[in-house]
A and B are shown apart, each in its own frame.
Chain A
Amino acid sequence: MTFPEEVYSILEDIVGHEYISADPVICEGYRAGPAGYECGLGYERVMTRVPGCVIMPRTTEEVQKIVKVCNRYKIPYVPYSTGFYGARSHPHAENALLIDLKRMNDLEIDEKHLYAVVGPGVIYSQLQEEAMKRGMYIVIGGGGSQCSAIANMIGDGWSPLSYRIGLPHRRILGAELVLPDGELLRLGSLALQDDPFWGEGIGPDLRGLLRGYTGHRGFLGIVTKMAIKLLPFQPEKLEPTGVSPNTALQLPENRVKWINFTMPSFESIKKAMYEIAKAEIGAAVTRVPLFWRIIARASSKEEFWELWSKENEETVNAFFVLRVLLIGFTSEKQLEYEERVLMDIVKELGGEPRRTRPTDESWFKNADSAGMWLMCGGYVSVDYVIETIEHATAQCKNFAQLKRSYTPPLMPDYADPGWFQSFELGHQGYSEFLIYWDPDEDTTRVDHFYLETSKENIRKRFYTALLSSHQPLYLTGPAYGPNYHKWLLEIKKEFDPNFVCHPPFPLSHDFFVEQVEWMKPLKDWESPNLNVILPKEIAARIKTSSQNNEGEKTETS
């Protein structure tokens, strides 16, 4: 099936011939797998497709025109900022149009009013540096510096720096959203004027359409412009040092300082987090699992395994390290004050400071997130939840237990209760569960585990990031809300009547479970006929070609 010629020529007229291609080699370059988030797992192998055509618009108007053409000719399309998100940010429908937004990379900063206006092609790395040049900073989401700022702001968007700065939802100011049918929605102050300095709605806030706790992965339109809050930082420069691969920011320790503490117990780490939060000090507070220590020490995959295989459940569970970031926003004296308070707290709880390097490579510029794939080749965060610190620690421990019976094929982590941290000055806690596997091994049980975590969250009444596009909608829907899925689908239907915007999201995991043999034993919930919810011609493009679960051959030109 080749991309329809008549549609191609219309699209070509919109962007110019240089910025569109249906060449099978160009399209192959956009394949999701075989590596990246979730890649190598069943979902990626079965659900993703190489696009039928790739287009690169430059302006919001072009995006609108493209989307309208897709609606008219029933062409499924997928917005794509960097492609880093893995399987779920790639086409799932046959012969879809991939809208590569990298050319929309304008950046403007209003320094006085602490915000930047960006297009989807701007990545955090660029934005953070521009902010820091002007005495400001942002939170770079855990995904890393390489993430599109907009995509991450509407998808995930937190890191240990969220302890002080909070949820990304609040940091979205005025924005432009091209709705799935091609209409343009201007959000925040853009609704009434051209300065996107403020994000609230006129009355009800339609920023609610942009995301949920986590994002839509592109099924409810394309954000073509967004103003993002920048936060006041401090005036000293964080100097880049070192040569690849050991590059890091040198911290001006009178103003920016990480301190690691050895604590006597897991409980004392929790207590410390609460106390630090109540004292309203700090800029980041996180537990450090032993795993990270080993990663930091190892200079290669082989060295990692050499070191890691020496550890066991005992050593892992006896490793109690708390890492705290202090920033002297107001002055050097602030940092000194906060350090005194911090030492008071740690001392009370029986902890000790450890020698800590005055550098940062992981959070201010998050330059090492890609390293998560180094150890095993396969990695995904199978949940990342913001709730309370109590919820985080309970969920971590529960998850560690669940993982046991899936190890192998999961990487052995000796029942590590994971990493958790404090957010919004202790009003929230954060837990993230990372899993690793070798994509060359049989990963069926990883697929099972992934779904099991959803069921476990429901059973144990935990909140979860993996709702909507991430897990079967008809499994999580009835449980949360309840019935959030009903509203989500109504909204989807209203704004995307042709179901052309990244189909079959948000039902992609439902489709996956229905279509593959090895997932069927886990299906114990009701779902309607998915092929009826989607228009027939779109549903037909999602079906896997019989039992071919390795992806199909690329069309020759």
Chain B
Amino acid sequence: MHSISEELVKIVGPDNFSADDFVVEKYSRDFSLSPRGRPNFVVWPRSAEEIKRILELANKYKIPIVPVSSRVHFYGTAIPKQGGIVIDLTRMNRILEIDELNRRVRIEAGVTWKQLVEELRKRGLRVLMPLLPHSKRSVVTDFLEREVPTNTVYDYGEPLQSMEVVWPTGEIFRTGSASVPGYPDSPSRGANPAGPGIDFYRFLQGAQGTMGIVTWASLKIEYLPKIDKVFLAPVTDLSYIIEFLYRILRLRIGQECLLLNKLNLAIILSDSMDRDFEKLRTSLPPWTLILILSGFRRRPEEKIRYEEETLANIVKDEFREVQLSESLPGVLGAGKRLLKLLREPWPEETYWKHRYKGGCASVFFITKPVLAPKFISKTQEVAAEHGYLPEEIGMYIQPIEHNRACHLEFNFFYDPNDLNYVEKVRGLCRALYPILLNEGAFFTRPYGELAKVAYERAGSYTSVLRRLKKIFDPNNVMNPGNLCF
């Protein structure tokens, strides 16, 4: 091992290397319930070249590599399972280009949400965001992991375009139209994610760092709307509101559109958990629909007007029970606050999911919106069986693309210091996975223990994935112990 540290120091320099227990220990855990695992070394490379050489070293000695793009992890993916070298990309955090003409931004893997959103906002730009991302998380990683955007209206979805990746074998490669010789000194700007030859970008999505290390990526950006109008609706009948969403989202009404249950919304909206949380939690309706209408650069009021008109007609003629308004009873300025919240990363030090009890285990999957109520009652049933009160479950429904599907998320809150409760939650999650799978939940992001269950079920998919992985990572050095590897 001694020669390895020497070689690593040679590659990244002494300031970007550590084998200190104190440092290394920090990488052994994250916000999830995953068991601990320490790396042997941590390095902070500054370039793809350095990463290349590190990977070559790793292959030579068959040492695992765990790429880490930020210091905030929720699902255990960045915890070393077999020791090895953590490649911490947080120092590769340059915003390389803001290409306003083509509405594209190119950022290194270490760029955080806070960094990017602030920089874009200065120019009146934005990137489509998932729900309240952690300000210190890597934007590239969140999109690689397919965090679902809150905006349902763009048909072309998927902000990710081309990328630079260092394959597990150490080869530096660019995907999509960035693959042209000499990029970025080329007429090609990297706006096409596909190819060359085969869709490499797909193998990197959802890969939890097992297929290669992405050093930078181009993303689509949009202009910030000129005007926004936030509509909120209290929801008691979830099926009813879901039918309403099938109706209106298909008409391309709205930008951000989501459903949060009272617990999650209370956590999000509370100024202070001590003061207003309990009150909010009691007074909020079971669910709240948040729908934002926006007007863009030209004639913004007119855009909002025609959308609002159609929306009003549908409510009047077909969905009388829906009470859309710009305010939420009992919550002052909810609309304005939510608008700000939804366009920025979570502003506080303590992540919203940790505000309530300190810890949170999330179970989420993709399904058809009409099935959400079924999954909810099933989950509540199983939760109760495991001694977890159903009213303590945070829930979030994110419609996707005109409501053709949705991301359905359950949050189970726990005090990390209450070990019994932690076990209860762990057991609950474990029990839920096969039950939900049987009901048709489609888990596209198999973190932790879920991976085993999902991959066992998906026979042919798993075997082909393993065959593919062998091609890119013949020595299985990239983050082993995750997914089905």
Contact = CB atoms under 8 A, between A and B. Distances in A.
Touching in the complex, A and B, CB below 8 A?
A: yes
Interface of A: 112-115, 164-167, 169-170, 179, 183-187, 189, 191-193, 195, 197-198, 200-214, 216, 229, 231-232, 274, 277-281, 329-331, 333-334, 336-337, 340-341, 344-345, 385-391, 394-395, 424-429, 458, 460-463, 467-468, 476-477, 479-485, 487-488, 490-491, 494-495, 506
B334 interface: no
B201 to A, nearest CB: 7
B31 interface: no
B197 A193 contact: no
Interface in B154-209: 154-158, 161, 171, 173-174, 176-177, 179-183, 185-189, 191-208
Contacts of B445: 203
A333 to B, nearest CB: 4
B240 interface: no
A482 B475 CA distance: 22
A296 B299 CA distance: 35
A362 to B, nearest CB: 21
B347 to A, nearest CB: 28
The 3 A-B pairs with the shortest beta carbon distances in the complex, nearest first, are: A208-B202, A166-B156, A213-B195
B61 interface: no
A333 B302 CA distance: 9
Contacts of A231: 155, 402
B451 interface: yes
A281 B297 CA distance: 11
Contacts of B196: 212-213, 467-468, 476, 480-481, 484
Nearest to A183: B460
A365 to B, nearest CB: 20
A536 B446 CA distance: 43
Interface stretch (B39-47, B247-255, B278-286, B376-384): B247-255
B189 to A, nearest CB: 5
B183 A114 contact: no
A330 B180 contact: no
Contact of A166 (B146, B157, B201, B454): B157
A476 B179 CA distance: 11
Given A337-B299, A428-B192, 12 more contacts: A169-B193, A170-B157, A204-B206, A207-B202, A208-B199, A212-B195, A333-B310, A334-B306, A468-B197, A479-B180, A487-B471, A487-B472
B326 interface: no
A87 B85 CA distance: 50
B404 A115 contact: yes
Contact of B173 (A281, A345, A482): A482
A461 B440 contact: no
A195 B440 contact: yes
Given A165-B156, A184-B460, A187-B461, A211 B199 contact: yes
Contact of B185 (A329, A461, A506): A461
A461 B461 contact: no
B366 A425 contact: no
Nearest to B182: A461
Interface-central residue, B198, B208, B252, B468, by most chain A CB under 10 Å? B198
Nearest to A495: B467
A207 B158 contact: no
A169 B176 CA distance: 12
Given A114-B404, A166-B155, A198 B366 contact: yes
Contacts of A204: 202-207, 210-211, 465, 468, 483
A495 B154 CA distance: 36
B12 interface: no
B187 A395 contact: yes
B443 A491 contact: no
A334 B309 CA distance: 10
Interface in B408-449: 437, 440, 442-446
B146 A200 contact: yes
Given A203-B208, A330-B251, A331-B306, A278 B223 contact: yes
B465 A480 contact: no
A185 B171 CA distance: 28
B332 interface: no
Nearest to A485: B197
A460 to B, nearest CB: 7
A107 B253 CA distance: 29
A203 B464 contact: no
17 contacts: A185-B460, A187-B461, A208-B199, A231-B402, A329-B251, A340-B299, A341-B298, A385-B192, A387-B191, A425-B154, A429-B191, A467-B196, A479-B180, A481-B173, A482-B179, A487-B472, A494-B467
A198 B179 contact: no
Given A204-B204, A463-B188, A229 B404 contact: yes
B102 interface: yes
Interface string B336-377: 000000000000000000000000000000101010000000
Contacts of A187: 461
Contacts of A209: 198-199, 464, 468
B173 to A, nearest CB: 5
A463 B184 CA distance: 12
Interface in B451-471: 451, 454-455, 457-458, 460-461, 463-465, 467-468, 470-471
Given A213-B192, A467-B195, A202 B454 contact: yes
Contacts of B442: 189, 192-193, 197-198
Interface-central residue, A187, A201, A484, by most chain B CB under 10 Å? A201
A397 to B, nearest CB: 11
A496 to B, nearest CB: 12
Interface in B122-157: 146, 154-157
Nearest to A229: B404
B81 interface: no
Nearest to B243: A112
B125 to A, nearest CB: 11
Contact of A212 (B174, B182, B187, B194): B194
B316 interface: no
Nearest to B156: A166
Contact of A387 (B182, B192, B250, B443): B192
B104 interface: yes
Contact of A169 (B177, B180, B194, B404): B194
B176 A213 contact: yes
B74 interface: no
Contacts of A169: 193-194, 199
A488 B306 contact: no
B156 A427 contact: yes
Contact of A341 (B102, B299, B461, B471): B299
Nearest to A337: B302
A483 B201 CA distance: 15
Contacts of A203: 206-208, 210, 444-446, 451, 465, 483-484
Contacts of A467: 195-197
Contacts of A483: 171, 173
B392 interface: no
Contacts of B193: 167, 169
B220 interface: yes
B441 to A, nearest CB: 8
A491 B468 contact: yes
Contacts of B179: 463, 480-482, 484
A197 B368 CA distance: 8
A225 to B, nearest CB: 14
Contacts of B228: none
B194 A113 contact: no
B303 interface: yes
A536 B437 CA distance: 47
A329 to B, nearest CB: 5
Contacts of B446: 202-203
Nearest to A391: B187
Nearest to B154: A425
B306 A165 contact: no
Contacts of A340: 299, 302
Given A112-B246, A170-B156, A185-B461, A207 B199 contact: yes
A475 B423 CA distance: 58
